[in-house]
Amino acid sequence: MIKLENVDFSYQPQAGGIVPALSGVNLEIKPGEFVVIVGHNGSGKSTLAKHLNVLNKPTSGEVWVNEMNTKAEANLWPIRSYVGMVFQNPDNQIVSTVVEDDVAFGPENLGVDPAKIQKYVDESLEIMHLTDIRDSAPHMLSGGQKQRVAIAGVLAMRCQIIVLDEPTALLDPDSRREVLESLHRINREEKLTVVLITHYMEEAIGADRIVVMDGGKVVLQGTPREVFAQVDKIRALSLDVPMVTQIAADLYARGYDVPPDCLSEEEVVDAICRSL
């Protein structure tokens, strides 16, 4: 669905000069995947995300979305209809004073047949479990509810890929869990491709694949178990591993019969019980 080929990108600040942000990025994202992109601040992960629906265009290299090249002006709106973006602060994406109207804004802006918009809105509200607050004012909602409204707006546009740039960064733990569960549900039940940018390593545990970025480059990728088993390498990149994985790795290093790539508390507990 998405293919990046030798992508370089540089910013040109008003003060002058060139700031490189991506360097030689090659990446493919397959239909139905749940991909999590992680990296420390300045690693290029958000810049990469903006290439997926033409908020950025590569300085060199190619980005293909559903076989459409992002450099072609004629592909701009087809790609943005295909790839929806959700940003860190939901307040920056909410434009209406009623939840239902806000969810309808996207398809209306795309010129969708009015006869279909209500159907799309109803289905999106149902998928995101927002039907009971469809008439509410967004500013009265919790952070997690607001973010689910933003996601529902993308679903109503009938996008096939949802790219989320640190959507839980401003949320409390309960709201983070609420949003993450919603993302996994629409990936699993609606077969939508999800690309999640985050700095919370625990949010990557349930992904199909993790992509680790550093210095504008993809430096590591694989399943969560493959990536988090490399504790020393992850830490060398100024990143953490999930707490349960760190505990398992520490126990393993001390000679306990505990696999160092555990991803859940249950795995660690079972391994400890077996070793005893």
pTM value is: 0.89
Structural domains in the chain, CATH included, are 2-241 (3.40.50.300)
- Note the maximum CA span of the chain: 65
* pLDDT averaged per 10 residues in sequence order, the chain, 276 residues: 94 77 95 94 91 94 96 92 88 90 89 88 90 92 89 88 88 86 90 92 92 94 91 87 86 85 87 83
What is the total residue count of the chain? 276
Q: How far apart are CA 87 and CA 165, in angstroms?
A: 5
Q: How far apart are CA 216 and CA 158, in angstroms?
A: 31
Residue 73 burial (CB < 10 Å; 0-12/13-18/19+)? exposed
Q: Give the per-residue pLDDT at 167.
A: 87
Distance, first Cα to last Cα, the chain: 47
Q: Give the per-residue pLDDT at 14.
A: 66
